[in-house]
């Protein structure tokens, strides 16, 4: 809680909460309610990182017993959006699981940012068609994605 408040005082617009959002029984409702009271739900993004179908926490080292699809609606009152990482494909440059992201989109109207394996403009366009943002790293770092093409896509979407 204090860390989130500090980050916001330092100029962050929103904070991403991962491990603290969960307990062994599922979403950590008590913590999340307190966090919303402290900083407001519009400033909270919840991380739903999935590996082998289960949400993982503690740096992707510990698997929970539930899936993102099972808990996403329970978490909506506590955030303005979700950062959803498909850990199985993170950094592998093999594409992502568009079906998983489509299921998440069907489960919530909240903002979703996808990460994990996004490699091509086709991946980005498919996610964009689902109204899902893309977080890309390795594909840009390795030159697989062209920043100019990404910028052009963004400009065409914004109408400039």
Q: Do 82 and 51 contact (CB within 8 A), yes or no?
A: no
In the block, tokens 């969960």 appear at: 22
Q: Picking from 57-61, 69-73, 75-79, which range would have the lowest pLDDT averaged per residue?
A: 57-61
Distance CA 25, CA 55 (A): 12
What residue ranges define each of the domains in the chain, with the CATH number in brackets?
2-158 (3.20.20.70)
Average pLDDT, the chain: 87
Q: How far apart are the first and last CA of the chain?
A: 39
Q: What is the mean pLDDT of residues 76-92?
A: 85
pLDDT at 153: 77
Give the predicted TM-score (pTM) of the model.
Answer: 0.87
- The pLDDT, as a whole number, for residue 160 is 40
Are 96 and 89 spatial neighbours (Cβ–Cβ below 8 Å)? yes
Strand partners, 86: 50
Q: How far apart are CA 14 and CA 87, in angstroms?
A: 22
Say what the pLDDT of residue 47 is. 93
């Amino acid at each position: 809680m204090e860390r989130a408040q500090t980050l916001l005082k330092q100029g962050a617009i929103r904070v991403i909460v991962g491990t603290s959002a969960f307990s062994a029984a599922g979403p950590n409702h008590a913590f999340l309610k307190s966090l919303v009271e402290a900083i407001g739900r519009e400033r909270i993004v919840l991380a739903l990182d999935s590996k082998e179908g289960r949400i993982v926490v503690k740096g992707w080292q510990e698997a929970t017993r539930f899936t993102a699809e099972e808990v996403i609606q329970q978490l909506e009152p506590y955030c303005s959006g979700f950062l959803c990482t498909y850990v199985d494909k993170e950094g592998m440059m093999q594409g992502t699981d568009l079906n998983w992201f489509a299921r998440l989109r069907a489960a919530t109207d909240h903002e979703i940012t996808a990460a994990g394996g996004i490699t091509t403009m086709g991946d980005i366009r498919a996610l964009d068609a689902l109204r899902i943002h893309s977080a890309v790293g390795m594909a840009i770092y390795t030159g697989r994605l062209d920043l100019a093409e990404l910028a052009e896509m963004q400009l065409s979407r914004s109408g400039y």
